[in-house]
């Protein structure tokens, strides 16, 4: 497993999953995303995005999207996507990355710290309020968190899971898969002359 920058050819796949997951990304650009992949099969496992905000009142970096495909969950995929995104923010000279989330416990395990909205810089507060107004409901309360780019830690258990990750719709390594054949469906392959001939 590894995480790489998204390429133009990944755009349709990204858009399909963004729609499937009901993720709002009005400023979509595939080049802003990273994708986690299985290095042996090139099967995609998850993705994420950081967004650089700049304006008259300042600049900041926000982790705006993090998604792991259902068949790859609980295997450290999201952790490694976050690690790659925070490293990219550091490469772009950002000292801090913000995330506005309804799942703060997930991010605190990597070192993200909750921030009181009254203590955020005004330009960060404006974005946080926009996120809250557009996505918050009675059941989903957003929390602002931040991390210094040099302080991110990925727990070893998530690193180990990522090394052994495989999709839940594939059998574990070493398990024998019985492949279905035409005979299993009552089709005699010696008599079938066309690809879609059903008898």
Residues 6+ apart with CB under 8 A from 20: none
User: What is the spatial distance between Cα 158 and Cα 156, in angstroms, rounded to a whole number?
Assistant: 5
How does pLDDT run across 117-140, given as a tens digit for each residue?
788 888 888 888 888 888 766 667
Q: Which of 40, 92, 23, 31 is nearest to 61 (CA)?
A: 92
Q: What pLDDT sits at residue 137?
A: 67
Predicted TM-score (pTM) of this structure: 0.80
Q: What pLDDT sits at residue 10?
A: 93
Q: How far is CA 20 from the centre of its chain?
A: 13
Inform me whether the pLDDT recorded for 149 exceeds 90: yes
Q: What pLDDT sits at residue 59?
A: 87
Per-residue confidence band for 113, with pLDDT thresholds at 50, 70 and 90: very high
**Residue 75 sits in which domain range?**
2-171
User: What is the spatial distance between Cα 179 and Cα 197, in angstroms, rounded to a whole number?
Assistant: 20
User: What is the spatial distance between Cα 78 and Cα 72, in angstroms, rounded to a whole number?
Assistant: 9
Looking at the domain assignment, is residue 58 inside a domain? yes
Looking at the domain assignment, is residue 155 inside a domain? yes
Inform me whether the pLDDT recorded for 183 exceeds 80: no
Q: What pLDDT sits at residue 135?
A: 77
Domain CATH for 100: 3.40.630.30
Domains identified in the chain, total number: 1
Looking at the domain assignment, is residue 181 inside a domain? no
Per-residue confidence band for 11, with pLDDT thresholds at 50, 70 and 90: very high
Mean pLDDT, the chain, rounded, equals 86
Looking at the domain assignment, is residue 192 inside a domain? no
Q: Which residue has the tokens 């490293």?
A: 87
Looking at the domain assignment, is residue 180 inside a domain? no
Looking at the domain assignment, is residue 142 inside a domain? yes
Looking at the domain assignment, is residue 111 inside a domain? yes
pLDDT (mean) for 149-177: 81
How does pLDDT run across 48-91, given as a tens digit for each residue?
999 988 877 678 999 999 999 999 999 999 999 999 999 999 99
Looking at the domain assignment, is residue 70 inside a domain? yes
Inform me whether the pLDDT recorded for 12 exceeds 60: yes
């Amino acid at each position: 497993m590894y995480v790489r920058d998204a390429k133009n050819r990944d755009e349709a796949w990204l858009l399909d999953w963004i729609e499937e997951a009901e993720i709002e990304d009005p400023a979509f650009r595939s080049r802003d995303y990273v994708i986690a992949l299985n290095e042996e099969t090139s099967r995609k496992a998850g993705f994420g995005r950081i967004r650089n905000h700049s304006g008259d009142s300042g600049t900041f970096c926000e982790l705006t999207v993090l998604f792991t495909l259902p068949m790859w969950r609980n295997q450290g995929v999201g952790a490694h996507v976050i690690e790659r995104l925070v490293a990219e923010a550091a490469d772009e000279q950002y000292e801090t990355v913000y995330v506005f989330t309804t799942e703060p416990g997930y991010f605190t395990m990597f070192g993200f710290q909750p921030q009181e909205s009254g203590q955020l810089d005004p330009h960060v507060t404006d974005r946080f309020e926009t996120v809250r107004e557009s996505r918050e409901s009675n059941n989903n309360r957003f929390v602002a968190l931040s991390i210094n780019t040099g302080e991110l830690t990925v727990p070893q258990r998530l690193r180990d899971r990522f090394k052994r990750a495989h999709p839940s719709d594939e059998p574990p390594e070493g398990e024998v898969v019985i492949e279905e054949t035409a005979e299993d469906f009552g089709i005699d392959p010696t008599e079938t002359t066309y690809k879609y001939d059903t008898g």
